Structure 1
Amino acid sequence: MGTPMLDQFLASIAALVSNRQGDHLQDYLQVVPEHMRDGYRHMALELQKSYPKGPGDDSLLKRCEALVPKNPDGTTWHAFPIFIRSYLAYLRDGNVSNPLEAYKSLSGLLNQCLQALGDSQMGAIVLRTVVYLSQIVAGLAMTLEKNIQLLAQLRLDRPQDAFERTSLVEDAANVVREGFIKCLVDRGGTTGPSGKPQGKRAGIYLMANHCLRLLHRCGKLRSADTIFKSISAQSPPLEHYPAAHRVTYLYYLGRYLFANNSFYLANKALHEAYNQCHVQCLKQRRLILIYLISSNIIMGRFPSLQLLQKPEAQGLYDIFYPVCRIIQSGDYLALRDHFATGSSAGQWFLRKGLMYQMRNRCEVLVWRSLIRKVFIFGGFHGDPSAQRAPPPMLHLSKVETAVRLLQSRHKEHFTKELFSKGDANVITIRLPEDSDYDGIAGLVSKASDPEVDDYLITSGYYDENGAWVENPSGQLIEGPEYEQYTDSLDYLYRGTLGLPTQDTHSSKLLQEIESIVSSLIKQNLLGGYLTHNPARFVIPGAKHVGVLAKGFPNVWQTISGQQQSYGDEVPAWIVTRQALPTQPAFQGTGGGRVINLKGAKAVGS
């Protein structure tokens, strides 16, 4: 019996290989039933009759071997006929109605295609096919992840150690990563006009983007550092690739840097992605804009109304404007309410992977705003007319009063027990109750509690003869070090186990405010120094630049200036301009570096 459909199919494949038309090859190798025309079903019937499973596989492979001509040196593309034979076997035997069976068959087909991609001379022909198949396999993996029964059945077929078990989407990402490496290390591709890479190296960012997309889907984007290290070391400049590749890559690079708290570098990558994204791609521009605005807010720069009125920013005003208003207000408890996991805003930021960065980083800015407001209304601004006068300062007891006012407005943040006792030392940062940390911050700190045991004031000790001696009163144990350290130990443990405190006028809240101010000074978000007794924030040298400009420097300029001092180049963003000697995040080795020879002298001069 003849096989007209199979003959026509193989002739078309041979022509595509001969002409190196890899983009059209992908159109022929369809695997989704909805995309297959009637010819594929007729060809499947021909294969079942003329090349049945088992006995017909060798004959089918011989027919596929004729698709690839031999090279002048006598070698041939061995992996490609095996891949085509696997594809025809998939048409003949594949049970596409069962997601589990389809996933197994297509995973094997993808691995065969990756083997064909590895050929140094002809592998680039199947590049688009690798991307197409990996997308289908990833979609099936996500479907199986939602079906517990099918997933359990697959786990039984592929037993893994519990500590090494990965999701199916992550497995798909690892397969795509192999294709990315094959493209990256290819040295057979020629260089086109203006240095544009060709061959498999033309697919570096196509494969990288697909792998990054899968890692994002399975929540493992932070583990993409190997991709960025490899690109940083060996990739051609990004600008030689199509705009779609550039925008997608810069978006995921920005997301990765944002997740690793490199907000300044993330802002640069996302800003470039937004600028290069086509104005009609509203969905993509909106997605980039969400993370671009977030990184700017964290660094102290709020979005303008003009930006929030753009078509791609529809609805973002209601998301980000309340956050900006809370930061300006200085109400740290309102910020915690806004980003609570039970709130609608908290859920939105959580789904976008933004909540923890926004909540934690924005609280720093809120405290700065609160201290600034208190200073404006209640601080000493200095006497500009006096020749010698005290510098501007703010007594932190006034900040304490402002915090207590905020706490009175947000009583739901504190337990009824604390307020029923009239506790005047409600701390701003409450720690959860944990038996491993009893006694910290005054949560459970009773010397009479038999479970409270201390490393220095213990419930007992061994004497010089090795006998256990009880210490029910919790006294310091005498020994060679006792007299030397009695005073310092008494100071360290004063107030922890009920011992008297000398600084009775200093509340826990005031002490914590001192720590916050000290941290803001360390971060250069406050310009001045701190005195302890009495607790004051002092702003020296404000006469020439102004007290607010000196004591409360611009947040954006401060943070961006600090980041620029560590290096302004975004790691893994390869450009043609002369690069700096170091790239902050990735210290990969290998080629791809540009050496700055500006000012170098000629040999022998």
Structure 2
Amino acid sequence: MTHMSLAHYLQLVDRCWRSQDGVIIANLISLRHDHATSKSLQIEKPESMVERFLTPPFDEIVIYHLKCLYCISNKNYLEAYQQQSLLTQCLTKIIQSQKEENWSLPVMYSVCLDLRLLAQSAEKDRIGVSEKPGEILEKAAECLMGCFRVCAADNRSSEEDTKRIGMLALVNQLFKVYFRINKLHLCKPLIRAIESSPFKESFSLSQQITYRYFVGRKAMFDSDYKMADQCLTYAFENCHKLSKKNKRLILIYLVPVKMLLGYIPSKQVLEKYDIVQFWELVRAVCQGNLKLFDEIMETHETFFIKCGIYLIVEKLKIIAYRNLFRKVYLILNTHQIPVEALQAALVYLGQIDVDLDETECIVANLIYEGKIKGYISRQHRKVVVSKQNPFPPLTSLS
């Protein structure tokens, strides 16, 4: 396949197009297939040759594909992206015209994946150029959205015929773009479309895992930790056991979500997936050791920022405060805890800039979040906690 002649390639494409073999066509116009490395297919101006073998409208698709291969061979990723964009728009029109068929969905999946990957490569090439960051990916998302609309507009009810069965694959590609350019608000209508789809349970497991992974991450950033836990747990439990890299990626977001909900991950799991940074964090949070917590945040700052979870992990500090104040309560053995005692514990653990007012504010947040049952007596500068279960187990919080 890597040494295929142009004539042989075009004959094969024509035969598969006529037989409506979407899976093979998807390979034959994929930038990730073996044929893409064949020098005989990397042609700057393939129009005349292609038109001898193929009829409209598919001849246009192949012309754009061959031009794209030529641009990639010359490492001109921006022009390659432009050709792939034209190819995607052309394919969208073809799929839209196929009123009673959906055999070309595998072709659409392949073309859209290549478009997103090329857009990412073109973005890297544009670093330092006047075009604003993310602009190429935004344009790619517009093309992807065009395909999504065609699929969503198909009102046929049969799972075998409808194009709506292709919606989730496109949504996942769009998610990957929106997360990369930090436009998570654009995910909301897509989630709504999938959740209301009558084919929600019919999508492939791999697509559902990817979908739940991104929905879980969005829920995490929206502070909807129960939804994040539900989605990320589904993704982790259903991800193939041999896909260790993907399971690790899911855990990087699932672990802080679980901890925010009061669940403690096992050291064995964290070691298995090479995210032991979280075990040090677990120790600091459980001990209420704010000094250790700050040291860990500083030590692993690069890791947390690179993963996009720094601010989420920082929120675990409130649980460390709760556990520290519980220790003070147990030591003093009183339901009327002086704010000065809590402040002294904070200062002892390195929070030297925290005054009495700030200490009260931390306690007020813990009470508001239900992590402490009680109230603050400002007149006496004391925290009056409930005589029954003043520090509720975190896992029981609503």
TM-score calculated relative to the size of structure 2 = 0.87
Larger radius of gyration: 1
C-alpha deviation, 1:180, in angstroms: 2.0
Corresponding residue SS for 1:273? helix
Which amino acid in structure 2 is aligned with residue 399 of structure 1? L
Pick the aligned partner of 1:257 from 213, 219, 242.
Answer: 219
Question: Which SS does the other structure have where 1:110 is aligned?
Answer: helix
User: For the residues of structure 1 that align with 2:14 and 2:386, how far apart are their CA atoms?
Assistant: 84
Cα gap change, 1:393 to 1:104, in 2 (>3 Å): same
Name the amino acid aligned to 2:66. Answer: L
Find the aligned partners of 1:400 and 1:231 in 2 and give their Cα distance: 49
Q: Secondary structure of the residue that 1:553 maps to in structure 2? A: coil
In structure 1, the partner of 2:167 is: 204
What CA distance in whole angstroms lies between the structure 1 residues aligned with 2:341 and 2:284?
A: 20
Match among 556, 562, 581 for residue 395 of structure 2? 556
Q: 1:302 aligns with which of 231, 242, 264?
A: 264
Q: Separation in 1 of the partners of 2:230 and 2:70?
A: 48
What is the correspondence of 1:564-579 to structure 2 with a 5 Å cutoff? Answer: none
The SS at the match of 2:57 is helix
Say if 2:228 and 2:257, in contact at 8 Å, map to a contact too: yes
Q: Tell whether 2:137 aligns with 1:181.
A: no
Q: Paired residue for 2:66?
A: 91
How has the CA–CA distance of structure 1 residues 12 and 406 changed in structure 2, closer, same or farther, with 3 Å as cutoff? same
Please say if residues 144 and 150 of structure 1, whose CA atoms lie closer than 8 Å, have aligned partners that are also in contact.
no
Change (3 A) 1:283 1:30: closer
1:116 counterpart residue number: 94
Higher relative contact order, chain-length normalized (CA < 8 Å, sep 6+)? 1
Matched residue, 2:309? 354
Q: Residues 537 and 358 (structure 1 numbering): CA distance in 2 closer, same or farther, change over 3 Å? A: same
Alignment map for 1:90-489 (pairs within 5 Å): 90-91=65-66, 95-96=70-71, 97=74, 98-121=76-99, 124-148=102-126, 151-152=129-130, 155=131, 166-188=134-156, 190-191=158-159, 198-233=161-196, 235-308=197-270, 311=272, 313=273, 315-316=274-275, 318-340=276-298, 343=299, 345-359=300-314, 361-380=315-334, 392-407=335-350, 427-428=353-354
Query: Equivalents in 2 of 1:93, 1:288: separation in Å?
Result: 34
Q: Does 1:8 align with 2:11?
A: yes
- SS, match of residue 516 in structure 1: helix
Alpha-carbon deviation of 1:370? 1.5
- Amino acid in structure 2 at the alignment position of 1:395: P
CA deviation digits over 1:319-374, x for unaligned, max 9? 1111111112323343233223xx3x111011111110110x21211111111111
Tell me by how many angstroms 1:517 deviates: 1.5
**1:8 shift after superposition:** 2.5
Match of residue 496 from structure 1: none
Aligned to 2:3: none
Aligned residue number for residue 524 of structure 1: 370
Using the TM superposition, give the Cα deviation of residue 224 of structure 1 relative to its aligned residue in structure 2, in angstroms: 1.4
The aligned residue for residue 24 of structure 1 is: 24
Summarize the Cα distance change of 1:46–1:226 in structure 2 as closer, same or farther, 3 Å threshold: closer
**AA matched with 1:16:** S
Corresponding letter in the other structure for 1:115: K
Q: Is the 8 A contact 1:170 1:214 kept in 2?
A: yes
Which residue identity is paired with 2:97? D
Count the aligned residue pairs.
Answer: 390
The normalised TM-score by structure 1 is 0.59
Unmatched segments (≥5 aa) in structure 2: 1-5
5+ residue gaps, structure 1, are 52-59, 66-80, 156-161, 193-197, 381-391, 411-425, 429-508, 543-549, 563-605
Deviation at 1:293, TM superposition (A): 1.1
- How much has 1:395 moved relative to structure 2? 1.8
1:230-264 C-alpha deviation (Å, 9 max, x unpaired): 2233x135332221111111111111111211111
Instruction: Using the TM superposition, give the Cα deviation of residue 92 of structure 1 relative to its aligned residue in structure 2, in angstroms.
Output: 6.6
Task: Give 1:179 shift.
Answer: 1.5
**CA 1:327–1:89: 2 relative to 1, 3 Å:** closer
Residues 137-165 of structure 1: CA deviation (Å, up to 9, x unaligned)? 2222222222247954xx5xxxxxx8xx8
| TM-aligned CA distance change 1:123 to 1:102, over 3 Å | farther
Asked if structure 2 preserves the Cα contact closer than 8 Å seen for 1:379 and 1:395, the reply is no
Distance in 1, Cα, partners of 2:40 & 2:107:
17
Corresponding residue of 1:465: none
Asked whether the equivalents of residues 222 and 260 of structure 1 are also in contact (C-alpha less than 8 Å), the reply is no
Superposition map of 1:501-512 within 5 A: 509-512=355-358
Q: Would you say the 8 A contact 1:189–1:200 is kept in 2?
A: no
- Higher normalized helix content (fraction of residues): 2
Secondary structure at the counterpart of residue 337 of structure 2: strand
Contact kept in structure 1, 2:165 and 2:199, CA below 8 Å: no
Alignment partners' CA distance in 1, 2:77 and 2:103: 28
Tell me the CA shift for residue 112 of structure 1.
0.5
